[in-house]
Structure 1
Amino acid sequence: MTVSHGCYDVVVIGAGPAGAVASSLLADLGYRVLVLEKEHFPRFSIGESLLPQSMAFLEQAGMLQAVVEAGFQHKNGAAFTRADDYDCFDFREKFSDGWGTTFQVQRDRFDKVLADCASAHGVEICYGQTVVAVTTMADAVQIDVVSEDGSAYQVGAAFILDGSGFGRVLPRLLQLEKASTLAPRVSLFTHIKDNITDAGFDRNKILITVHPEHPAVWYWLIPFSNGRASVGVVLPRELHAGSECTECELLQQFIAEGGMLQRVLENAEFDTPVGIIDGYSCDVESLYGERFALLGNAGEFLDPVFSSGVTIALKSASLAAEVVHQQLQGLEPDWQKEYAVPLMQGVDTFRAFVEGWYDGRLQDVIFADGKSEQIKEMISSILAGYAWDTGNPYVRDPRRLTTLAELCRK
């Protein structure tokens, strides 16, 4: 195979959290790793509320200290409100062992912190590079790349990981995409100067608000450490399509109907354009194949309601790095058994809770009076990202959520 831009052990598409952690873990094992990133960092991204489980993966990759020192907003739980109902989950009071706190982060800064850590670990990161084709050969993968200046070149690698997130480079190039089982929804979002003075609002928790009349419509409010916040609304596609308002007007219109959220944001300054993602849920035919694997959102993205995206991305990076290591050592790892199955165990737990959120079961549990502390700790563990802890009955069998909802309704 002829290449004009060098040959690597591993090429990673995307320098986001999944790509940064996977590449850093592999570089620490002595491999020559190249990351090809289409954008330049820092760059805007949503998915700003981390889960405590993610801290273990950042620690594993040697990135935790840099994240702690970056000065992000402390996070210890999640609060939920619907009309006059309110309840919160403190992630320090959970069923599973492990971290009980984390951070709420501006992703432009957070992602750059992780990418810079990967560089410090010996990873070569090239920004402004677009992967346009991938060809698998007997002993290597050929990657065709176009630089931002229009020049084209090829890179060779023994293995390729796709951490391109919503860019979903390999699923598009290799025809791996398939429709999600989740209903299509639209997300409108922006950053604001929040000016929050409400004494009842806890900046250490993400606030999830359910629309008082439309339970399928919900909002997030993620406060940052600098007096700003991320705010967004998720709604069925038909509600968005039927509106004649601008995106900013529609977002503010829904916030005005949000009960506690409206009161908390009564002094907010909407000083940033509103973004939109339409039909964000996605799936693939396979998470791996001949000399490639998909990380995080490049494989499957569920829904933003439980902020699971970064945690799943980091879990996939941790799992994939170990299996790639085995493969590059000449072993024959079982990618289905050692990567896809363990990764999907947690994804399927989150999926069951996402489905339970939209069909009302989980909302009925969250807002129920008189929940036992043990049950609340089990739910808190999953909300904190411990969706792989099979000691938790609701991870081992997420169908238990249906029985729990029926009990709460009674």
Structure 2
Amino acid sequence: MTSTDYDVTIIGAGPSGTVAACLLMQHGLSVCLVERDQFPRFSIGESLLPQSMEFLSKANMLDTLLDNADTLGFQFKNGAAFYRSGHHTNFNFEEKFSDGPGTTYQVKRAEFDHLLAQEAIKQGAQILFGQQVTNFKSGKNASYLSVVDLKTKQESTISAKFTLDGSGFGRVLPRLLGLEETSELTPRKAVFTHFKDNIENSQFDRNKILITVHPTMPDVWYWAIPFSDSTISVGVVGETAQITRADQTLEQTLLDFINADDNLSALLTDAQIIAPVRTIGGYSANVKALHGDKFALLGNAGEFLDPVFSSGVTIALKSAVQASDLVVKQLQGEAVDWQVQYEEPLREGIEVFKYFVNSWYDTSLQSVIFFADGQPDVKAMVCSILAGYAWDKSNPFVKNTERGLKILEQICESGNNDSVA
């Protein structure tokens, strides 16, 4: 085979890229990650799901997370709390149906991503920060990245036997190769920031993400993600027209939405904004294919759904585990069918999450979440998906998500206690 600079190049040094790098290096492969930004840098996606811990463990990165969580203000997380117009309900991830970890962390992504990048370097990866990929091409025996140094403007070419795109919302290869497709999800927008929360309510469970439904617009919701240093990430999500306030600053818009909900406004009575108020819109995305000649797309570079169930990092890490395994096999000379062995199984779990997202916004899943307490077995199955186990086909709500949720919705609406399992 033609000599290359590296066995594998990875675009982006976020969670999917660094986990893939560490998995590949376990097999003696040389890996170079090309990252546009300098770390630490801001990113959204702060509430991890327990399934992610299994993937971090595979990459020998879990210990570094556990060792540094307290120092970096990461918050232990064991579930999700929901609130809607006076009605509270909780899902304890340790009571889920699926096997696997039941706890995780809520993380500040600047520090979390930096931590994983440092660990990847310790394990042997090279990371080129401040480098932008401007072109990609594949030859008979290699893939080639054209790269420009954003500081010196110097251009270079890096060759590898295979390339993974973990560029997240940058979506480098989909943009360069014309792979982007419009998402079938409704375009939405988020407005968010960090507060010093000053929450003294003893009933507030910092070990859970709090998801709140707007009191009059059921397809608008808020996240509240506490950290262990008494700070909290708060955002509101809705369709662009619902969230946009042309006559207001982003800060005024966010505060107005918070004040519209009785529970959230009470919790944040003494809170103080400590970071810029930001907005992101049009984040849902899809692609024509998750793979091509000598490349594959990881995580958000392929498909991003919606922040409502915090599935982004879990999908990213799942894709890193699957793709790295296939890259190893292919570079060892095995025949690999990327469609059958990567895209189709990865999309199965994505479709489960997608159905949950759509059902949340049409409020049918909200009915299940707020009225499933009388169905402990079924609640455990739903809890597994909320915990990230969207690929566990032993779960009836994974195997047939649409049918299961429709039956459960009918049970919750009627108050019937029959089991659907």
Aligned 8 A contact 2:222 2:236 in 1:
yes
Separation in structure 2 between the aligned mates of residue 2 and residue 381 of structure 1, nearest angstrom: 46
1:23-38 correspondence to structure 2 within 5 Å: 23-38=21-36
CA separation of 1:370 and 1:97: change in aligned 2, threshold 3 A: closer
| Aligned partner (choices 313, 321, 329) of residue 326 of structure 1 | 329
In the alignment, which residue of structure 2 is the partner of 1:78? 80
Cα shift at 1:175: 0.3
In the alignment, which residue of structure 2 is the partner of 1:221? 224
1:306-345 correspondence to structure 2 within 5 Å: 306-345=309-348
The one-letter amino acid of 2:317's match is L
Separation in structure 2 between the aligned mates of residue 56 and residue 80 of structure 1, nearest angstrom: 25
User: Higher mean Cα deviation, 271-280 or 203-212?
Assistant: 271-280
Residues matched between the structures, number = 408
Q: Secondary structure at the match of 1:222?
A: strand
In the alignment, which residue of structure 1 is the partner of 2:63? 65
Cα shift at 1:243: 4.1
User: Higher mean Cα deviation, 231-240 or 86-95?
Assistant: 231-240
User: Higher mean Cα deviation, 169-178 or 63-72?
Assistant: 63-72
In the alignment, which residue of structure 2 is the partner of 1:388? 391
Q: Secondary structure at the match of 1:407?
A: helix
Matched, 1:360 2:358: no
Q: Secondary structure at the match of 2:273?
A: coil
User: Higher mean Cα deviation, 362-371 or 86-95?
Assistant: 362-371
Matched, 1:408 2:412: yes
Separation in structure 2 between the aligned mates of residue 360 and residue 126 of structure 1, nearest angstrom: 45
Separation in structure 2 between the aligned mates of residue 212 and residue 182 of structure 1, nearest angstrom: 23
| Aligned partner (choices 104, 107, 114) of residue 106 of structure 2 | 104
Aligned 8 A contact 1:212 1:258 in 2:
yes
In the alignment, which residue of structure 1 is the partner of 2:132? 130
User: Higher mean Cα deviation, 16-25 or 336-345?
Assistant: 336-345
Separation in structure 2 between the aligned mates of residue 291 and residue 268 of structure 1, nearest angstrom: 50
Matched, 1:192 2:191: no
Cα distance per residue 1:298-323 (max 9 Å; x no partner): 00000000000000000000000000
The one-letter amino acid of 2:104's match is T
Q: Secondary structure at the match of 2:95?
A: coil
Matched, 1:12 2:15: no
Q: Secondary structure at the match of 1:92?
A: helix
Matched, 1:280 2:280: no
Matched, 1:250 2:248: no
| Aligned partner (choices 42, 45, 51) of residue 43 of structure 2 | 45
Q: Secondary structure at the match of 2:128?
A: strand
Structure 1 residue runs of 4 or more that deviate by more than 4 Å after TM superposition: none
Cα distance per residue 1:99-127 (max 9 Å; x no partner): 00000000111111111111111111110
Cα distance per residue 1:35-67 (max 9 Å; x no partner): 000001111111000000000000000000100
Separation in structure 1 between the aligned mates of residue 394 and residue 267 of structure 2, nearest angstrom: 38
The one-letter amino acid of 1:82's match is R
Separation in structure 2 between the aligned mates of residue 282 and residue 75 of structure 1, nearest angstrom: 28
- Unaligned runs of 5+ residues in structure 2 are 415-421
Cα distance per residue 1:53-109 (max 9 Å; x no partner): 000000000000100011221000000001111100000001001100000000111
The one-letter amino acid of 2:35's match is E
In the alignment, which residue of structure 1 is the partner of 2:94? 92
Separation in structure 2 between the aligned mates of residue 214 and residue 299 of structure 1, nearest angstrom: 30
The one-letter amino acid of 1:50's match is L
Separation in structure 1 between the aligned mates of residue 333 and residue 129 of structure 2, nearest angstrom: 31
1:104-183 correspondence to structure 2 within 5 Å: 104-148=106-150, 149-183=152-186
The one-letter amino acid of 1:54's match is S
Cα distance per residue 1:374-410 (max 9 Å; x no partner): 0110111100001010000000001121221122112
Cα shift at 1:241: 3.6
Cα shift at 1:371: 2.6
The one-letter amino acid of 1:215's match is P
Cα shift at 1:370: 4.7
Separation in structure 2 between the aligned mates of residue 283 and residue 368 of structure 1, nearest angstrom: 33
Give identity over the alignment, percent: 52
The one-letter amino acid of 1:300's match is E
CA separation of 1:142 and 1:405: change in aligned 2, threshold 3 A: same
TM-score normalised to the size of structure 2? 0.95
Matched, 1:297 2:294: no
| Aligned partner (choices 196, 200, 204) of residue 201 of structure 1 | 204
Cα shift at 1:131: 0.3
Aligned 8 A contact 1:163 1:297 in 2:
yes
Cα distance per residue 1:178-202 (max 9 Å; x no partner): 0000000001111111111111110
| Aligned partner (choices 374, 380, 393) of residue 377 of structure 2 | 374
Q: Secondary structure at the match of 1:47?
A: coil
Aligned 8 A contact 1:82 1:259 in 2:
no
CA separation of 1:329 and 1:213: change in aligned 2, threshold 3 A: same
Cα distance per residue 1:204-253 (max 9 Å; x no partner): 00000000100110000000111111110001111234542111110110
Aligned 8 A contact 1:323 1:333 in 2:
yes
Cα shift at 1:369: 6.0
The one-letter amino acid of 1:408's match is C
The one-letter amino acid of 1:281's match is S
In the alignment, which residue of structure 1 is the partner of 2:417? none
Cα shift at 1:7: 1.3
